[in-house]
Structure 1
Amino acid sequence: MEVSNRFTKFVASRLIEAREIRGMTTTELAKLIGVSQQSVSKYENEGAVPTFDTLESISTALELPATFFYKPQVEGNDSVVFFRSKSAATVKSKKVHSHKIKWIKEIADYLEQFLELPQVNIPRFITRERYIPTDYTEIDEMALKVRELWGLGNGPISNVVLLLEKMGVIVGRSSFSDYSIDACSFWIDDERPIMLLSNDKTAARSRFDVAHELAHLVLHSKISQTEFNNKENYKAIENEAHRFAGAFLLPSPSFGTEVLSTSLEHFISLKKRWKVSIGAMSYRSKDLDIFSDYQYINMRSKMAKNKWLTKEPLDDELPFEEPVLLKQAIEAVIDNRIKTKQDFVSDVGIHREEIEAIANLYSGYLLQNESAKVIPIRFKQ
């Protein structure tokens, strides 16, 4: 018996989203839930609606509550998602994180029904939909303008994640270890920029990822999907974001005067101060013509000899920058009894564990408080 009448709001695109976020094909899902691949395709193309039993099987297979498949789709689902990714990143892995970052938006949208989150203060210096390359000198100037706008001066930034959250960006973290992706971001017009970061990186490399995604928000957030999909454009866009990130974290007026040697020991001391990887600082030194090409190559060779290309000194000592905005917002809603933990999870429509991971809450935070089940009983006098 097909679901009908009061159960007519099954959202087909939610099934596609759930399947893709779990990295499954329609054939793989069909095998798990005991129906044909053609049936799954019909569910996704609004040609049929799954039965109650089939929906329960889908819910179990995709590890999402059945209510998820009745949630209206998030607006801006076709917005460009920018990825800081390795060449090995697949279309499937990008789909996983395109959906996951939009879950962050849904959580933030829900919270904004009750709370006033920080006002967005991210400048959009380039607003055209067509991609036109920007001169690197101009990019350096834009990075300095952002620092000026935010009153940062030219010194090291103590916490880049916290800075962006104060500027209205919603930041979440997730494990990217199996996907060859470092970070991603998107920004729908007149709404909040959203950023998803890997929690599998070192502190220094993660800070650079944050600055890289900031570059996309400032330079590229208006670019159309067609322009972004062009392979030549994509490579140039990534290079521009890399340049902006270096200029934002390591501004030439200050960092440029502090590079006094090509010795590895000197760069360890610089890393301690600037909290940026030695690899990124040496590349920035080449960008600023402090290093010649030969000096940069020699630096890389010394790093390779010391096996620093994958793990550098101080990687285990610099503090990892965790997002706090979503965490504090959820705690405010719960602590002020605007919503119970159970109702919050039910309303958001995503499994508790995934909300906790995205929002940097400790595992089990959203479990219903067991003390609420305790009935006070006293001994007779």
Structure 2
Amino acid sequence: MEANNRFSKFIPERLVEAREARGLTAAELAKDVGISQQAISKFEKRDSSSPSFETIEKISSVLNVPVHFFYKDIIPFEESVVFYRSKSAATVKSKKIHANKLKWIREVSLYADALLVFPKINVPRFVTRESFIPTDFEEIEEMANKVREQWGLGRGPISNIVLLLEKMGAVVARSPFSTHSIDACSMWKPLDRPYILLSNDKTASRSRFDIAHELGHLVLHSYLKVSEFNNKENYKRIEKEANRFASAFLLPSTSFGREIFTSSLDHLISLKERWKVSINAIAYRAVQLEIFNEYQYIYIKNNLAKKDWLIKEPLDEKIPFEEPLLLKQAFEAIINNNIKTRQDVLNEIRLHHEEIEAIANLENNYLVPKEPGKVFTFKIK
């Protein structure tokens, strides 16, 4: 009877979530587990029979989540647009992988936020229209300047945009995206924090543009409906708007515009060192500001191609990679101050330690429980 009560709490949505997060179809999961696709489909439906303990253990092993993950209640979460900075090759599967990863980032964040005091949300939502209407690029330039003013940034280069957004209440995490044709993604729901997932496969300068692009979505498109976002024509415009915001936010016209005066690669490299943005993004910004024409931009691109600099540019190894710190410091504080033990964290979040460590940017095995029964003391840094 006790076992039946335990398994009556199986949450089918958790199975769908974990399967999609691992990029598997029901048929692929069934094959790996050694059961029929019909059985998996049945387990994923509410009001259907639950899998046996042995089957759950096999599913847990294949999907690399703890058994008790499937018995954790879903945190209420209404449908939301997930913004993808994606290449044309991005698939529905890859988008589902990252949408579910964002959900897990949210769960990990909410857990820590309930134990500690996180920064207040200070990200403005400038476009509040109930339906999507394209925003004029000049308006977007003004909005980017207003965000800088609200955050007291002046008009110079931003030293660390990841830490800046974390201070403004966003939660940022990184993940390898190299096989999924997605550079970054984000979501922001009413009465919730903005959540941003970045690739850790990019160079520092390109990654800075990615997060500025996601900030553009948060500022410009946070009230967008899913149906509007899924419209192909809308999507093209939405991406262009986020790109324009990113350019204007990272390279303000009133300051950057006065510093660029030649299309020589040596000059563009010196600007990259100062502004920490890729040469290609700098050159294209000069086109937006009508400092360069299209022919000059094409000439620069051709020169970059000749030097094999289209993917790996000069200074890429010199510009420091910006790592998220909010969740890392939060979990270190939770453990170091004995608010929770490592085992508590694993039992209550119900993801494997590797998953939480990756989300929170913690060292490998940081959350592995220490010797049972032994008391550890920590110095607060």
Q: TM-score range by the shorter chain?
A: over 0.9
Give the match for residue 336 of structure 2: 335
Q: Does 1:224 align with 2:225?
A: yes
Aligned residue-pair number: 375
TM-score, with length taken from structure 1: 0.96
Q: Report the alpha carbon displacement of residue 374 of structure 1 after superposing the two structures with TM.
A: 9.0
Q: Report the alpha carbon displacement of residue 371 of structure 1 after superposing the two structures with TM.
A: 8.8
Give the match for residue 12 of structure 1: 12
Q: Report the alpha carbon displacement of residue 76 of structure 1 after superposing the two structures with TM.
A: 2.1
Matches within 5 A, 1:164-179: 164-179=165-180
- Residues 2 and 50 of structure 1 are in contact (CA less than 8 Å); yes or no, is this contact kept in structure 2? no
**In 2: Cα distance, 1:105 partner to 1:159 partner:** 23
Q: Report the alpha carbon displacement of residue 295 of structure 1 after superposing the two structures with TM.
A: 1.0
Give the match for residue 34 of structure 1: 34
Give the match for residue 253 of structure 1: 254
DSSP-derived class of the 2:272 partner: helix
**In 2: Cα distance, 1:373 partner to 1:192 partner:** 37
Sequence identity percentage: 61
Moved more, 155-164 or 111-120: 111-120
> Which consecutive residues of structure 1, in runs of 5 or more, have no partner in the other structure?
376-381
Counterpart residue identity of residue 140, structure 2: I
Give the match for residue 297 of structure 2: 296
> Which consecutive residues of structure 2, in runs of 5 or more, have no partner in the other structure?
377-381
**In 2: Cα distance, 1:314 partner to 1:129 partner:** 43
Alpha-carbon displacement from aligned partner over 1:188-233 (angstroms, at most 9, x marks no partner): 1011110000100000000000100000000001100000000110
Counterpart residue identity of residue 44, structure 1: E
Give the match for residue 379 of structure 2: none
Q: Report the alpha carbon displacement of residue 369 of structure 1 after superposing the two structures with TM.
A: 2.6
Q: Does 1:101 align with 2:92?
A: no
DSSP-derived class of the 1:186 partner: strand
Q: Report the alpha carbon displacement of residue 127 of structure 1 after superposing the two structures with TM.
A: 1.5
Give the match for residue 211 of structure 2: 210
- Residues 3 and 50 of structure 1 are in contact (CA less than 8 Å); yes or no, is this contact kept in structure 2? no
TM-score, with length taken from structure 2: 0.96
Moved more, 45-54 or 162-171: 45-54
Give the match for residue 136 of structure 2: 135
Alpha-carbon displacement from aligned partner over 1:60-113 (angstroms, at most 9, x marks no partner): 111100111111113225211000010010000000000001101001111121
Alpha-carbon displacement from aligned partner over 1:156-187 (angstroms, at most 9, x marks no partner): 00000000000000001111111010000001
Q: Does 1:162 align with 2:182?
A: no
DSSP-derived class of the 2:17 partner: helix
Give the match for residue 125 of structure 2: 124
**In 2: Cα distance, 1:73 partner to 1:311 partner:** 42
**In 2: Cα distance, 1:223 partner to 1:363 partner:** 38
**In 2: Cα distance, 1:11 partner to 1:371 partner:** 30
Alpha-carbon displacement from aligned partner over 1:122-166 (angstroms, at most 9, x marks no partner): 000011241110110000000000000000000000000000000
Matches within 5 A, 1:1-381: 4-46=4-46, 47-76=48-77, 78-370=79-371, 373=374
Q: Report the alpha carbon displacement of residue 299 of structure 1 after superposing the two structures with TM.
A: 1.1
DSSP-derived class of the 1:113 partner: helix
**In 2: Cα distance, 1:152 partner to 1:191 partner:** 25
- Residues 74 and 102 of structure 1 are in contact (CA less than 8 Å); yes or no, is this contact kept in structure 2? no
**In 1: Cα distance, 2:22 partner to 2:78 partner:** 18
DSSP-derived class of the 1:40 partner: helix
Aligned-pair Cα RMSD in Å = 1.6
- Residues 2 and 49 of structure 1 are in contact (CA less than 8 Å); yes or no, is this contact kept in structure 2? no
**In 1: Cα distance, 2:186 partner to 2:73 partner:** 22
